[in-house]
Amino acid sequence: MVILGIETSCDETAVAVIEMSPLKRSVQAADIKILSNVVLSQVPIHRKFGGVVPNLAKREHQKNLVPVLKSALKEAKLFHAKKQKTEQKFSSLQIRILHEIFEREAELIKRFLKEIPKIVPPQIDALAVTVGPGLEPALWAGVNFARALSYIWNKPVTPVNHLEGHVYTVMLGETQIQKHGFHLRTMKLPTLALIVSGGHTELVLMKKFGNYKIIGETRDDAAGEAFDKVAKMMKLGYPGGPIVSRLAENVKQNKKIKIKLPRPMINSGDFDFSFSGLKTATLYLLRDLEKKYSLAELRPLIAKEFQDAVVEVLVVKTIRAAKKYRVKSVILGGGVAANTKLRETLVAAVKNNIPNLELYLPSRHLTGDNALMIALAGYFSGDKTPWKKVRAEANLRLSWQ
Ligand code: KG4
Ligand code: ZN
């Protein structure tokens, strides 16, 4: 089964192709061959604004989707140009329907009409596309692209929840992704997923494969968003997570400068989070200390204490939830899962508190947004939806099915 995944929920335009071979009768056991995994990041474009600008993201997705699709097909050896010039045309009916689909993507339809008729429909079995959560205009670009391809190529579409993609990434293992086929890692159930990204911070219980219950989430800012905002206040650029975590490495305690930040909601008794207050506390601390010390001196110290605070809250609550729900494994996923301190602290905490719990960390190469995870989640969902019914849902939530 060959699946082509499409992801445009934020500032990455991504297309990937995977080939799945199910093993035994269990739905979870399968071999995967990653035929291609193309990600085009828009970070350089959004950097000057200090964050992702939704309409700019949409404009870039419209520009990039066709070229990224072509690269992904070429890499997967599924790209074949049509030979006959006469074949390279859509019918007037097709053109009319495409105009309906791309009603709000004027730029994308131009590229679609120019390039797609020249491509022989590839040997794929299904399309999978992120329908949410994410930035509404950005999501629609990918969703309408998938709907149009589904219509023209006559392939079914599977709508995918972006966060489910982050969860399933751990099945690909922890190492650099391999090009040849390999076994997916099976997850021991029930499992608890800590999803930490720029838009989300959630603790999700999965008792059965594909059935989710959110047991805790952030009440305001997401963990990644807090990293980005703290980086901005220290004039460090965007995205802040990787910059702050690099700065925090090897920082020794400075006896002269006292830095202590709160651990918000660490003892709240539930599994919710809040990072907005921590961000404000960091701002006040910075303002106060800047009266006496230089920003250059303060940056690494604040980066370290801020990171320690976020990581401590995330890990303490994850361990408590794992104990309460008696799960057999814990999954880490999302952009912030690239954070070394978080990974190491979680490994140590599991070892010290629940030694027989299995911990699945994602490969660092796949923590950021990509379409490989969307294709994989699409395979497991298997939900084939007629293209007319596929819609973007900016606030889509994980739920029991
Ligand atoms: O999952 P993702 O790529 O996009 C969303 O779905 O939001 O996550 C992006 C977030 C950004 O906020 C970024 O600053 C954060 O992940 N991030 C990190 C690190 N690498 C990326 N946060 C902390 N430490 C990192 N090493
Ligand atoms: Zn993401």
Question: What is the per-residue pLDDT across 97-127, written as a single tens digit (0 to 9) for each?
Answer: 999 999 999 999 999 999 999 999 999 999 9
Question: Closest ligand to 199 CA?
Answer: 1
Confidence of residue 268 (pLDDT cuts 50, 70, 90): very high
To test the pocket of ligand 1, the residue of 46, 227, 365 to mutate (highest count of ligand atoms within 8 Å of its CB) is 227
pLDDT tens, position by position, 156-169: 999 999 999 999 99
Sequence-ordered list of residues with C-beta below 8 angstroms from that of 340, at least 6 positions apart, any chain: 245, 249
Structure tokens at 173: 């293992």
Mean pLDDT score of the chain, rounded to an integer? Answer: 95
pLDDT tens, position by position, 340-397: 999 999 999 999 999 999 999 999 999 999 999 999 999 999 899 999 999 999 999 9
Cα of 77 vs centre of ligand 1, distance in Å, is: 31
Query: Rounded mean pLDDT of 31-42?
Result: 95
To test the pocket of ligand 1, the residue of 163, 167, 197 to mutate (highest count of ligand atoms within 8 Å of its CB) is 197
For the chain, percent of residues with pLDDT exceeding 90: 87
Cα of 237 vs centre of ligand 1, distance in Å, is: 13
d(CA 229, CA 234): 9
Confidence of residue 25 (pLDDT cuts 50, 70, 90): low
Model confidence, pTM: 0.96
Confidence of residue 324 (pLDDT cuts 50, 70, 90): very high
Other C-beta atoms closer than 10 Å to the C-beta of 316 total 16
Identify the three-state secondary structure at position 318.
helix
| CA-based nearest residue to 320, from 202, 167, 163, 192 | 192
Identify the three-state secondary structure at position 79.
coil
Structure tokens at 60: 């870039």
Question: Closest ligand to 242 CA?
Answer: 1
CB 375 within 8 A of CB 4: yes
Question: Closest ligand to 336 CA?
Answer: 1
Q: Which pLDDT value is given to residue 27?
A: 67
pLDDT tens, position by position, 271-292: 999 999 999 999 999 999 999 9
d(CA 257, CA 323): 37
